[in-house]
């Protein structure tokens, strides 16, 4: 799910759609300008309306919130000069610095109030409104049960924003670096009406750059230095040029012609270019995984997929080492569970959450144990043969390779299993997943912020992205405990979340396959890019070329 769009499909889209990946065969890009960064992207920007966006991989450079993400996912200075929280963790007070919009209007506390109300208004249909959950009345407003004015944000004066929470949110400061929570200029929204944010000139910008040359559908646009930005003195680049590139081969050719400074590589290219001096890798907190349909419409498959031994057999017969090194070959890494590596560290000893969540004999390759569990599972459900359909999106570059591998591996190791594959466009995949029309769904999720909770919400009972309808009361209670009575106790909260993740991993309620790392060629002239594994992945505020 990029988030739950699946990031699966949505989230996925969320997260993956704005990765600097390569797609496009337009070779019209100009040779590298002296003080510009030339980048490719997989697809045109789908929106520059922060209320309607499903990710800020690029656009975190043009929109800013109270904070922005610095290195290692840490919040650094943004539009707030200070932020303080009450002892009970339920009231945050932000003091704004003297900042301006790209059109010269002052950025005021009321701009934040307006923005949050607009994003939560059901009429806006914000795909990420669920991220406001925990802010006072946010859920009720998003569901249309209360007016937008009821949401817990206020502006006692033009430089002060007060946010009231239903309960402490341990990762609230990190969340406030996400542009979704940034300000919007009501005057500009009203001035342009239906045209608002449909073209670059029908929007105003609060970040280090502003957008030029984007008309909603075109394949080239630029981020230009925003001279009204409060911290403009540290912004060295004049421009970041974007070009949609439809294939990795085209991207590589453009890179060779000095038309791109950074280009993502296909698995085949990685094998050939790994020793190239320009080779580099950027990891991302996106985990590719399998969701099982616990409410399968086929009674036999429902019984099978609800059987823990069957799920463990499916997981243990996947050789993830072969998947990452040979099937993909792009530097992606092995998962320990469904929560990504390099996302969060323990508040007590600094260990990675991924290490703490691991459960032995769940994601290892162990065909002997897989066969044992398979045999046991079939006996328990009284079946000798099973046929599963694997649903996946053919918009994802690895779907075909991965589903073929799973089909071949499972039918080889698990006697009596037949596997059919349905690779269809992303939109149809998401629709079928939402309707529960699948047996096994090859999905994914990318973290929105640096905290395990960005993944832990997926398997909660009743969440919109829990497409497989798995439900476990103990899991729900631990996650709720982490968000309520233990929210202000970092060590206990961490232990709650680790215990919860182990339930999912022990039961293989979600079966992780790999964690994404993208390999690139990057010109030696490029310096100062900040890349994070979650949230606003790419920051060019301090980037420069020389």
Note the pTM of the prediction, 2 decimals: 0.83
Can you give the pLDDT at residue 18?
A: 33
Same domain, 330 and 411: yes
Reported residue count of the chain is 546
What is the pLDDT confidence band of residue 273, given thresholds at 50, 70 and 90? very high
CATH number at residue 64: 3.90.76.10
Cα dist from 30 to 213, 242, 255, whole Å: 15, 11, 11
Nearest-angstrom CA–CA distance, 73 and 65: 15
Give the domain extent around 310: 283-518
Give the residue with greater pLDDT, 444 vs 15.
Answer: 444
> Strand pairing partners for 157?
160
Is residue 175 predicted with pLDDT exceeding 50? yes
Q: What is the dihedral of CA 84, 86, 90, 95, to 10 degrees?
A: -30
- 285-311: average pLDDT: 97
Can you give the pLDDT at residue 33?
A: 53
Is residue 1 predicted with pLDDT exceeding 50? no
Is residue 28 predicted with pLDDT exceeding 60? no
Nearest-angstrom CA–CA distance, 137 and 24: 44
- 510-538: average pLDDT: 94
In a domain? residue 251 = no
Can you give the pLDDT at residue 410?
A: 98
In a domain? residue 256 = no
Q: With H, G, I as helix, E, B as strand and everything else as coil, classify residue 530.
A: strand
Query: Residue 493 contacts by C-beta under 8 Å, 6 or more apart in sequence?
Result: 170, 482, 486, 487
Same domain, 417 and 527: no
Nearest-angstrom CA–CA distance, 249 and 255: 10
In a domain? residue 2 = no
Is residue 12 predicted with pLDDT exceeding 90? no
Same domain, 204 and 310: no
CATH number at residue 431: 3.10.105.10
Same domain, 293 and 236: no
What is the pLDDT confidence band of residue 377, given thresholds at 50, 70 and 90? very high
| 152 φ, ψ (degrees, to nearest 5) | -75, 55
In a domain? residue 277 = no
Give the residue with greater pLDDT, 464 vs 355.
Answer: 355
Same domain, 533 and 511: no
In a domain? residue 271 = no
Same domain, 532 and 477: no
Same domain, 187 and 140: yes
Same domain, 533 and 480: no
Same domain, 390 and 406: yes
Sign of the dihedral defined by the CA atoms of residues 250, 251, 256, 258, in that order? positive
Lowest mean pLDDT: which of 10-14, 61-65, 344-348?
10-14
Q: With H, G, I as helix, E, B as strand and everything else as coil, classify residue 479.
A: helix
| 83 φ, ψ (degrees, to nearest 5) | -145, 125
Same domain, 56 and 89: yes
Give me the number of domains the chain comprises: 2
In a domain? residue 22 = no
Same domain, 142 and 173: yes
In a domain? residue 302 = yes
Is residue 539 predicted with pLDDT exceeding 90? yes
Same domain, 531 and 510: no
In a domain? residue 177 = yes
Nearest-angstrom CA–CA distance, 463 and 291: 14
Is residue 31 predicted with pLDDT exceeding 60? no
Can you give the pLDDT at residue 24?
A: 33
- 84-98: average pLDDT: 96
- 144-169: average pLDDT: 97
Nearest-angstrom CA–CA distance, 454 and 476: 15
Nearest-angstrom CA–CA distance, 494 and 490: 6
121-152 per-position pLDDT tens digit: 999 999 889 899 999 999 999 999 999 999 99
């Amino acid at each position: 799910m990029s988030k739950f769009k699946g990031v699966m499909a949505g989230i996925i889209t969320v997260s993956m759609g704005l990765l600097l990946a390569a797609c496009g065969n337009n070779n019209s890009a100009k040779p590298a300008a002296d003080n510009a960064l030339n980048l490719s992207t997989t697809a045109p920007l789908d929106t520059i309306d922060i209320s309607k966006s499903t990710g800020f991989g690029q656009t975190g450079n043009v929109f800013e919130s109270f904070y922005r993400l610095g290195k290692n996912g840490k919040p650094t200075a943004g539009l707030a000069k200070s932020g303080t929280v009450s002892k009970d963790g339920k009231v945050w007070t932000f003091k704004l610095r003297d900042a301006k919009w790209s059109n010269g209007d002052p950025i005021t506390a009321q701009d934040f109030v307006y923005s949050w109300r607009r994003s939560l208004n059901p009429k806006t249909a914000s795909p990420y409104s669920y991220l406001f959950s925990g802010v006072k009345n946010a859920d009720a407003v998003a569901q249309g049960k209360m007016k937008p004015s009821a949401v817990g944000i206020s502006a006692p004066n033009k430089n002060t924003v007060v946010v009231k929470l239903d309960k402490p949110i341990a990762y609230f400061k990190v969340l406030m670096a996400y542009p979704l929570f940034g300000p919007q200029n009501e005057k500009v929204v009203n001035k342009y009406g239906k045209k608002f944010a449909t073209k670059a000139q029908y929007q105003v910008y609060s970040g280090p750059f502003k957008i030029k040359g984007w008309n909603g559908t075109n394949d080239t646009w630029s981020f230009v230095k925003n001279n009204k930005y409060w911290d403009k003195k540290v912004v060295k680049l004049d421009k970041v040029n974007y070009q949609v590139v439809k294939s990795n081969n085209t991207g590589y050719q453009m890179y060779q012609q000095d038309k791109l400074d950074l280009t993502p590589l296909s698995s085949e290219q990685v094998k050939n270019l790994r020793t190239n001096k320009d080779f580099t890798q950027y990891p991302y907190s996106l985990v590719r995984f399998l969701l099982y349909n616990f409410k399968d419409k086929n009674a036999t498959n429902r019984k099978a997929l609800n059987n823990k031994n069957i799920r463990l057999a499916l997981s243990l017969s996947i050789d993830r080492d072969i998947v990452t090194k040979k099937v993909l070959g792009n530097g992606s890494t092995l998962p320990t569970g469904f929560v990504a590596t390099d996302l969060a560290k323990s508040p007590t000893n600094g260990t990675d959450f991924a290490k703490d969540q691991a459960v032995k004999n769940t994601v290892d390759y162990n065909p002997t144990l897989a066969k044992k569990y398979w045999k046991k599972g079939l006996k328990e459900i009284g079946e000798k043969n099973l046929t599963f359909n694997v649903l996946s999106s053919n918009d994802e570059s690895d779907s075909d390779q991965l589903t073929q591998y799973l089909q071949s591996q499972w039918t080889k190791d698990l006697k009596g299993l037949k596997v059919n594959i349905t690779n269809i466009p992303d939109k149809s995949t998401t629709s079928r997943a939402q309707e529960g029309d699948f047996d096994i769904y090859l999905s994914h999720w990318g973290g929105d912020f640096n905290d395990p909770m960005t993944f832990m919400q997926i398997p909660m009972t009743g969440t919109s992205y829990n497409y497989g309808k798995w439900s476990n009361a103990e899991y729900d209670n631990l996650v709720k405990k982490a968000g309520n009575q233990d929210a202000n106790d970092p060590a206990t909260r961490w232990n709650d979340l680790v215990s919860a993740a182990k339930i999912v991993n022990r039961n293989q309620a979600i079966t992780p396959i790999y964690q994404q790392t993208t390999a690139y060629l990057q010109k030696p002239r490029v310096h100062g890019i900040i890349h994070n594994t979650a949230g606003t992945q790419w920051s060019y505020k301090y980037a420069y070329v020389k």
